[in-house]
């Protein structure tokens, strides 16, 4: 049976060119980047080159890039270390109700330690009210964490406007954004958008798992989240994973060259899928913003169709889709994102699926996906 993958928002297969550079680094560039001999200096050179690529991709400086194990560590570091470093200035933090759990769980943790967390609501398009944000900012607000693009419904959350509002407010809050889902597709400029902290992950863009980076504005000094050696200019202890770093670098170079064309292609895939479903009179609606969204994600409510049953039947047909974040896919709990957008009692919460595209997606595979969705949704509604 041919298996077709439509869950790129959860993770992506490693790009063949990335595999090549990782393999080469594992054989020929095994030195510790902290060692002073030539083998160590070779690893240091490769790491420094990668940091320049990462920095250039978001309009930052290489010394503002801290290598991490991925999005979760980056989010945890940005949120928890900011809270601990600034708690004498204030203990108020603002975030949204639709963040990834890598943001929400650190917020829960800080709340138990006495920090006050304000959760901004979202409308039916998954967008925050900028006036609500403006009113929520206070003199004791030390951090605002709002994701760049939502991982379940794809809605883009107007980061440039958020940065401007924070910069012009009575608060001296840092602006952190979880850009894990948007990085590699959206054009991000941390200086223009007044972003102080930004999280990424390699595995979302065809790179290896277990590597990412946290951008920290050079004016910000956060203590190391990891205790040990003095790597990363004392900002993140632990021997750097050179093969993963150069693999991530290659993945970034690939997506930077193609992000414009891929956005157009993924948008055309969504339109083609919608037209196929509409032509066959399938009863559905799109969740999230119809236009202001990440182009590789489309979240669909199939009315009267259990998402759990649909996922199982699609999997038996050889097609991988999801019902939301991969971090909660094994749970029976409904999507906190859809509940925040439509209410806990909405049927959308139990009848929606997420479809996401990547480098391996083709128009032919979209047609196959549409055919199976049409067949199975009709079957499950009977």
Q: How far is CA 105 from CA 76, 110, 179, in A?
A: 9, 9, 17
The angle subtended at Cα 113 by Cα 224 and Cα 177, nearest 5°, is 55
Name 16's Cβ contacts closer than 8 Å, sequence gap at least 6.
none
**What DSSP line would sit under 8-63, residue for residue?**
TTT--PPPHHHHHHHHHHHHH----TT--SHHHHHHHHHHHHHHHHHHHHHT--GG
Which of 45, 25, 76, 23 is CA-nearest to residue 214? 76
What is the C-alpha separation between 318 and 246, in angstroms, rounded?
33
Are 66 and 237 a contacting pair, CB within 8 Å?
Answer: no
Task: Name the token pair of 337.
Answer: 């994102």
327 counts as catalytic: yes
> How distant is the alpha carbon of residue 14 from its chain centre?
17
**What DSSP line would sit under 326-339, residue for residue?**
GGGTTS-SPPHHHH
- Tell me which of 85, 237, 327, 359 is the catalytic residue: 327
Residues in the chain: 382
Phi, psi of 143 (to 5 degrees): -155, 140
Task: Name the token pair of 60.
Answer: 């930052």
What is the C-alpha separation between 205 and 114, in angstroms, rounded?
37
Element (H, E) at 346: none
Quickly count: other Cβ atoms within 10 Å of residue 200's Cβ.
31
Task: Name the token pair of 314.
Answer: 């699609």
Residue 170 three-state SS: coil
What is the C-alpha separation between 274 and 284, in angstroms, rounded?
9
Q: How many helices and strands (H and E) does the chain possess?
A: 12, 12
Active site residues: 327
């Amino acid at each position: 049976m041919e298996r077709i993958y439509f869950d790129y928002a959860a993770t992506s297969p490693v790009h063949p060119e990335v595999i090549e550079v990782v393999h080469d680094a594992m054989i020929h560039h095994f030195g510790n980047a902290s060692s002073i001999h030539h083998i160590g200096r070779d690893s240091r050179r490769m790491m420094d080159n990668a940091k320049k690529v990462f920095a250039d991709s978001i309009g930052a400086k290489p010394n503002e890039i801290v290598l991490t194990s991925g999005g979760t560590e980056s989010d945890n570091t940005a949120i928890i270390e900011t809270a601990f470093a600034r708690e004498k200035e204030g203990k108020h933090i603002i975030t949204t109700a639709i963040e990834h759990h890598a943001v929400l769980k650190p917020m829960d943790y800080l709340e138990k330690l006495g920090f006050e967390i304000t959760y901004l609501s979202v409308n039916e398009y998954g967008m925050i009210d900028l006036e609500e944000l403006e009113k929520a900012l206070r003199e004791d607000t030390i951090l605002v964490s709002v994701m760049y693009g939502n991982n379940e419904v794809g809605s883009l959350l107007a980061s440039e406007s958020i940065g401007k509002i924070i910069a012009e407010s009575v608060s001296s809050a840092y602006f952190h954004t979880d850009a894990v889902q948007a990085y590699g597709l959206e054009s991000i400029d941390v200086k223009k958008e007044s972003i102080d902290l930004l999280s990424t992950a390699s595995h979302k863009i065809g790179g290896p798992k277990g590597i990412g980076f946290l951008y920290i504005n050079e004016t910000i000094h956060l203590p190391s989240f990891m205790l040990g050696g003095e790597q990363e200019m004392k900002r993140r202890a632990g021997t750097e994973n050179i093969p993963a770093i150069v693999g991530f670098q290659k993945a970034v170079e690939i997506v930077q060259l193609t992000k414009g064309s891929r956005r157009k292609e993924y948008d055309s895939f969504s339109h083609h899928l919608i037209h196929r479903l509409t032509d066959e009179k399938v009863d559905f609606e799109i969740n999230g913003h119809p236009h202001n969204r990440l182009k590789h994600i489309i979240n669909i409510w199939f009315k009267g169709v259990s998402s759990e049953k649909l996922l199982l039947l699609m999997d038996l047909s050889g097609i991988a889709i999801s019902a939301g974040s991969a971090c909660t896919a094994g749970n029976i709990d409904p999507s906190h994102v859809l509940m925040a957008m439509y209410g806990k009692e909405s049927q959308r919460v139990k009848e929606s699926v997420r479809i996401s595209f990547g480098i391996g997606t083709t128009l032919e595979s979209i047609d196959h996906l549409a055919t199976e969705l049409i067949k199975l949704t009709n079957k499950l509604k009977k």
